[in-house]
Amino acid sequence: PLRIKVLMWFVHKQVILTKDNLVKRNWAGSRRCSYCDHDESIKHLFLDCPMAKVLWRSIHIAFNIAPPTSINTWLNGVEIETASHIRVGVCALLWA
């Protein structure tokens, strides 16, 4: 779906409006993640946050896909149109 494709493109380009990116735009709110007490960034939100780790563990158990070590490792060369159904499903889970 287009929403998921756009999200993955935004993640790849590092332009998702996470709190660290909002601060760069003079946002005055808290930089802390809503799920834990660390500063929110794209890497944190999709890889390092305890909630993301639970999701990646579930993906690993269900599909035998190892958690990525970086955003670029996960997205490097991923084309939604040519990706396997499992990879598209994983992207959908991350979008949700």
The ranges assigned to domains in the chain are 2-95
- Do 30 and 19 touch, CB atoms closer than 8 A? yes
Residue 85: per-residue pLDDT: 67
Query: Rounded to whole angstroms, what are the CA distances from 86 to 47, 54, 55, 82?
Result: 18, 18, 14, 11
Radius of gyration for the alpha carbons in the chain, expressed in angstroms and rounded: 14
Tens-digit pLDDT profile for residues 4-36: 888 888 888 889 899 999 999 999 999 999 999
Higher pLDDT, 10 or 63: 10
CA gap 39, 87 in Å, rounded: 28
> Rounded mean pLDDT of 62-86?
68
Average per-residue pLDDT in the chain?
83
Position 7, amino acid: L
Range of weakest confidence among 52-56, 74-78, 84-88:
74-78
| Pure H helices in the chain | 2-13, 19-24, 42-43, 50-63, 71-75, 85-95
